[in-house]
């Protein structure tokens, strides 16, 4: 039963990130008005959310950085679908989700986004913990 739940949750996470990866491929810039930029950056001398977040994300999109992240999200999702490479996919996705969570907490700071990305991060960590015995073997390699 535990394996069925683990497999189901992993597949949900995999398909979610495959979908989100493909969603990042076309360059769709966030709408930001001149007034927003002037009021926040020039007058307030601040890059507070959401202006700083929108500028950062537009820079990531324009530079191609988000396409690289998209590739790794799709690749990790595919690895998670295949039972023999599931752990590798989960481990590959872990820093990606952690980064997404951090970006939302420190740049965006919308509570709904923080909760959503926090749930995804917690889910990924808990799915990795399913393999704790295998991970301990790698970490605790005895020296001869």
What pTM was estimated for this model as a whole? 0.82
The domains of the chain are located at 2-27+64-139
Q: What's the confidence (pLDDT) of residue 143?
A: 60
Q: What's the confidence (pLDDT) of residue 45?
A: 74
**46 CB neighbour count, 10 Å cutoff:** 12
Distance, CA of 88 to chain centre: 16
Q: HSE of 11 in the Cβ direction (CA atoms, 13 Å)? A: 9
Q: What's the confidence (pLDDT) of residue 142?
A: 64
| Rg of the chain on CA atoms, in Å | 18
- Cβ atoms of residues 76 and 17 within 8 Å: yes
Q: What's the confidence (pLDDT) of residue 1?
A: 85
Coil/strand/helix, residue 6: helix
Average pLDDT across each block of 10 residues of the chain; the chain has 144 residues. List them in order: 92 96 83 74 71 80 91 97 96 96 85 92 96 84 63
């Amino acid at each position: 039963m535990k394996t069925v739940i683990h497999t189901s949750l992993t597949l949900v996470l995999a398909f979610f990130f495959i979908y989100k990866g493909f969603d990042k491929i076309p360059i769709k810039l966030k709408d930001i008005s001149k007034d927003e930029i002037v009021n926040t950056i020039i007058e307030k001398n601040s890059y507070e959310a959401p202006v700083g977040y929108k500028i950062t994300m537009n820079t990531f999109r324009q530079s191609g950085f988000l396409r690289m992240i998209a590739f790794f999200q799709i690749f990790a999702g595919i690895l998670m679908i295949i039972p023999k490479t599931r752990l590798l996919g989960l481990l590959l996705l872990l820093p990606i989700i952690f980064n997404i969570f951090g970006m939302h907490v420190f740049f965006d700071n919308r509570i709904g986004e923080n909760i959503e990305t926090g749930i995804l991060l917690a889910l990924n960590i808990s799915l990795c913990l399913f393999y704790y015995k295998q991970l301990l073997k790698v970490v605790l390699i005895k020296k001869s």
